[in-house]
């Protein structure tokens, strides 16, 4: 079904596609020690300078032997005990077995490992249960990483498994893209900062704390520019200095069409900006463009809208700018909804949900309740967003709905 949009409105996928097409990744490479490379993005392909494992070795505690020797019914004398890390073993004499531990090298002549549980030892010789396969329980040299093969590609973000892989290759210094620098500020004359006492109608700034955490969780550098009042002069000064310091400038608030919403005129004066109305809830107004050499994202002011637009639009954009390639689509899956949900026709909606197992062990999702875009508690209670398509107007209890788990956004 095609979606009916208001004049000038974009669908969320259209906005996401626009960002994908207009963001050029950073190129600058730095070498960092492996222990500091977590969440960094590879600036080059990494090939294996050695095979992993380096030698054929045992996958079990047991006995190395020649499979052909199992044809005879006679017990095999145990010649030797081999431990992991004990170096190159002597060759296996014909008609004998060697005891060996997991990780010990396979002696020349042996072609099979038998688990110790399938052996009886009597007077220094073993009898082996039938049914052993030729070549079993040997980890072959290079079966994890063959010598010279590309192990990780440029654009890969380094997580726990990748750090282990790089460590297993003995690589101490890793070529990564320099970290993305993100400057952020909150805008709004009603906002006060920690330590101040709010007067009537004033409110503590929460968005900067949220955004600092969201940016920090991606491993980027964060420059916190504080709270900027709704005044053209203050915004002009703050945004032009931010643009000189950072790759990306992020603001919240002031992007609507209220009388104190100065982000639009100031950005049009200082940079090249597109104002978007996105057919999504929360988070309809959003600004995107360039400020000097920096990219600019002007998020809405409501705290839930800040988080949702960050996760769906800014996060993938930042990862792409930081050099990640490909930026994977976040995990989304369908589960049953425990209750009726309502929504207006025409906008894609992201309601806050709690996904958990029911008494039968099936995953199901419930709403956190009040879905106001100022109710930040809903994001704290939720562990997923319930994704409701534009054309949907209601969900009945027991219907399948798509969810976007927060744990898929690490
Ligand atoms: P705006 O988009 O500037 O009109 O803001 C929309 C709503 O979000 C208003 O109620 C603001 O007070 C609130 N808001 C804007 N920025 C922040 C912030 N940094 N922290 C908490 N609330 C905010
Ligand atoms: Mg405002």
The ligand minimizing its distance to the Cα of 184 is 1
The last residue of one of the domains, among 321, 354, 377, is 321
The ligand minimizing its distance to the Cα of 209 is 1
Residues 64 and 83 in one domain: yes
User: In this structure, what are the phi and psi dihedrals at residue 24, rounded to the nearest 5 degrees?
Assistant: -95, 125
- Whole-number pLDDT of residue 7: 72
145 strand-pairing partners = 52
186 occurs within a structural domain: yes
State whether residue 123 is helix, strand or coil. Answer: coil
Tokens of 109: 């002549």
- How many Å lie between the centroid of ligand 2 and the Cα of residue 261? 6
Domain that holds residue 378: 333-408
- Whole-number pLDDT of residue 165: 96
- Whole-number pLDDT of residue 41: 98
Tokens of 327: 């930026």
Q: Alpha-carbon distance 119 to 179, whole Å? A: 56
Confirm whether pTM is higher than 0.95: no
Q: Which residues of the chain have pLDDT under 50?
A: none
| Ligand 1, CB cutoff 6 Å, lining residues | 186, 188, 190-191, 203, 205-207, 252-254, 256, 258, 300-303
- Whole-number pLDDT of residue 2: 57
266: buried, middle or exposed (CB in 10 Å: 19+, 13-18, 0-12)? buried
46 occurs within a structural domain: yes
CB contact at 8 A, 308 and 385: yes
- Whole-number pLDDT of residue 53: 96
Residues 197 and 171 in one domain: no
Assign residue 388 the CATH number of its domain. 2.40.340.10
Residues 300 and 313 in one domain: yes
- How many Å lie between the centroid of ligand 2 and the Cα of residue 255? 8
Q: Alpha-carbon distance 327 to 318, whole Å? A: 10
Q: Alpha-carbon distance 27 to 32, whole Å? A: 15
Assign residue 170 the CATH number of its domain. 3.90.105.10
Residue length, the chain? 410
Q: Alpha-carbon distance 110 to 189, whole Å? A: 78
290 occurs within a structural domain: yes
327 occurs within a structural domain: no
Q: Alpha-carbon distance 184 to 203, whole Å? A: 19
3 occurs within a structural domain: no
384 strand-pairing partners = 353, 405
Residues 46 and 104 in one domain: no
Residues 250 and 196 in one domain: yes
- Whole-number pLDDT of residue 202: 98
Number of separate domains in the chain: 4
Alpha-carbon dihedral 331, 374, 391, 20, rounded to 10 degrees: -50
For residue 208, the 8-state DSSP code is H
- Whole-number pLDDT of residue 3: 66
Nearest CA to ligand 1 atom 11: 301
């Amino acid at each position: 079904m095609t979606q009916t949009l208001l004049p000038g409105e974009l669908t969320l996928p259209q906005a996401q596609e626009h960002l994908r097409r207009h963001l050029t990744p950073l190129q600058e490479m730095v070498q960092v020690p492996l222990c500091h490379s977590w969440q960094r993005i590879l600036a080059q392909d990494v090939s294996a300078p050695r095979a992993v494992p380096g030698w054929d070795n045992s996958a079990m505690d047991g006995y190395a032997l020649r499979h052909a020797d199992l044809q005879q019914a006679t017990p095999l004398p145990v010649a030797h005990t081999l431990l992991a890390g004990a170096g190159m073993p002597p060759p296996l004499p014909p008609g004998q077995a060697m005891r060996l531990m997991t990780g010990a090298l396979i002696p020349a002549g042996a072609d099979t490992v038998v688990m110790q549980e399938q052996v009886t030892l009597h007077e220094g010789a073993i009898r082996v249960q039938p049914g052993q396969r030729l070549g079993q329980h040997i980890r072959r040299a290079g079966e994890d990483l063959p010598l010279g093969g590309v192990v990780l590609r440029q654009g890969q973000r380094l997580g726990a498994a990748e750090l282990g892989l790089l460590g297993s290759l003995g690589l101490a210094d890793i070529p990564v893209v320099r970290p993305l620098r993100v400057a952020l500020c909150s805008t709004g004359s009603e906002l006060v900062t920690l330590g101040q006492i709010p007067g009537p109608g004033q409110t503590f700034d929460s968005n900067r704390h949220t955004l600092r955490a969201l940016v920090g969780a991606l491993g980027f550098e964060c420059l916190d520019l504080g709270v900027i009042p709704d005044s053209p002069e203050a915004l002009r000064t703050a945004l032009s200095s931010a643009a000189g310091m950072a790759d990306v400038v992020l603001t919240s608030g002031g992007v609507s069409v209220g009388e104190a919403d100065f982000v639009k005129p100031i950005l049009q004066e200082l940079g090249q900006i597109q104002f978007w109305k996105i057919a999504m809830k929360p988070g309809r107004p959003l600004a995107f463009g360039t400020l000097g050499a920096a990219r600019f994202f002007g998020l809405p002011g409501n705290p839930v809208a800040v988080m949702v637009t960050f996760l769906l639009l800014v996060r993938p954009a930042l990862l792409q700018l930081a050099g990640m390639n490909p930026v994977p689509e976040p995990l989304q899956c369908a589960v049953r909804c425990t209750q009726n949900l309502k929504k207006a026709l025409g906008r894609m909606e992201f309601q806050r949900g709690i996904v958990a197992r029911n008494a039968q062990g099936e995953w199901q999702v419930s709403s956190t309740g009040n879905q106001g875009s100022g109710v930040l508690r809903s994001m704290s209670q939720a562990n997923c967003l319930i994704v409701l398509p534009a054309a949907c107007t209601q969900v009945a209890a027991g219907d399948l709905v798509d969810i976007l788990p927060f744990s898929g956004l690490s």
